[in-house]
């Protein structure tokens, strides 16, 4: 098997060395509540400086199981801003608004669009598809009520990283079926076919590169809960059709077990006639977009998403 370390950039290797020297237990060996705190603290230590934006609003959205906490970042107080609905990563188990805030601020500042993130329900308390149901409720709210927050209901994109990328891919398909026209779907290293064993999974899942096979198995066990049945919404690759879904921007990390799933999904969308922009950042690992303090490619990725949104929204 290939030595994954040989693929890494120098900055990525140094960051991983720092993580190893810290000697913290892996997330999957911690109780869920502690894993959530550890992940939040880890992102806080690695994301880098947060930029200022003109507007930050905390609010809630009516959801299927009660209010969904939400936060909006906007570069101005202008009315009728286009909006990206952002869904954080964390294996459906950890993560939240706070762990994606640094990137959401940068995207808002650089794109000219507003960004709204939500604290969707997490497993194991709320197994799949609870989080997706919350995401769909938030999308419906933006279409019907977003104007009350100064947002343009005709210019909406969805996006997310890792588990949030999975949710965004499924949400884009659900939006198509509901007749909601999205300007773009932004997918950072989504898990779209966990039942498949790809070459990138074989090479990168058995080595200490932030996301490994034990952690993925732990996430999946928590997320599925008891009685889970096969569901294309968890594996968007398996949807009956991808025709007519929103154009996609897909960003991947080369040294990531999920890299080939992202590549395959890009090919699936392209085969269905969907415009796709695919970028693979060499030598970086899963979750690199939250590591701007150490990995400069993080900020490059934020800027690339901002540019894609500007283009999609006509800004």
Kindly name the residue from 28, 88, 242, 286 that is annotated as catalytic. Answer: 286
Kindly name the residue from 28, 119, 152, 162 that is annotated as catalytic. Answer: 162
| Tally of domains in the chain | 1
Going by pLDDT thresholds of 50, 70 and 90, the confidence category of residue 1 is: very low
Q: Is pLDDT of 273 > 50? A: yes
CATH number assigned to the domain comprising residue 135: 3.40.50.1820
At 81-129, the pLDDT tens digits run 999 999 999 999 999 999 999 999 999 999 999 999 999 999 999 999 9
Distances (CA, A) of 11 to 7, 283, 294, 298, 311: 12, 9, 7, 12, 31
Report the C-alpha gap between 271 and 266 in whole angstroms: 9
Kindly name the residue from 119, 152, 256, 260 that is annotated as catalytic. Answer: 256
Beta strand residue intervals within the chain, DSSP E = 55-63, 66-74, 81-87, 114-118, 151-161, 184-188, 248-255, 276-285
Q: Is pLDDT of 215 > 90? A: yes
Active site residue 98: no
Residues of the chain with pLDDT > 70: what percent?
98
Residues of the chain with pLDDT > 90: what percent?
90
Active site residue 38: no
At 163-185, the pLDDT tens digits run 999 999 999 999 999 999 999 99
b/e map of 93-109 (b: 16 or more CB within 10 Å)? bbbbbebbbbbbbbbbb
Rg of the chain in Å (alpha carbons): 18
Active site residue 256: yes
Per the structure, the complete domain to which residue 73 belongs is given by 4-313
Structure tokens at 271: 């085969």
């Amino acid at each position: 098997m290939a030595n994954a370390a040989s693929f890494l950039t120098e900055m990525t290797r140094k960051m991983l060395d720092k993580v190893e020297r810290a000697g913290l237990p892996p997330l999957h060996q911690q109780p869920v509540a502690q894993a959530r705190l550890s992940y939040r603290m880890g992102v806080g230590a690695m994301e880098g400086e947060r930029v200022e934006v003109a507007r930050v609003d905390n609010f809630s959205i009516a959801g299927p199981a009660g209010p969904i906490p939400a936060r909006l970042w906007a570069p101005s107080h202008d009315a009728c801003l286009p909006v990206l609905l952002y869904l954080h990563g964390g294996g459906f188990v950890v993560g939240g608004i706070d762990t994606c805030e640094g990137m959401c601020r940068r995207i808002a500042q650089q794109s000219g669009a507003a960004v709204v993130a939500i604290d969707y329900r997490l497993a194991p308390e709320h197994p799949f598809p609870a989080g997706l149901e919350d995401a769909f409720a938030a999308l419906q709210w933006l279409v019907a009520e977003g104007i009350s927050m100064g947002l343009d209901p005709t210019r909406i994109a969805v996006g997310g990283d890792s588990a949030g990328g999975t949710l965004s891919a499924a949400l884009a398909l659900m939006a198509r079926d509901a007749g909601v026209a999205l300007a773009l779907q932004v997918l950072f290293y989504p898990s779209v076919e966990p039942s498949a064993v790809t070459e990138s999974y074989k090479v990168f899942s058995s080595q200490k590169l932030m996301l490994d096979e034990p952690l993925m198995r732990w996430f999946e066990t928590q997320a599925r809960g008891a009685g889970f049945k096969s569901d294309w919404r968890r594996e968007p690759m398996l949807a009956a059709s991808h025709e007519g879904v929103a154009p996609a921007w897909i960003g991947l990390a080369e040294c990531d077990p999920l890299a080939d799933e992202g590549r395959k999904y890009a090919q699936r969308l392209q085969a269905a006639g969907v415009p796709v922009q695919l970028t693979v950042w060499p030598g970086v690992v899963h979750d690199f977009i939250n590591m701007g303090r150490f990995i400069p490619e993080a900020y490059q990725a934020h800027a690339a998403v901002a540019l894609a949104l500007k283009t999609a929204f006509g800004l």
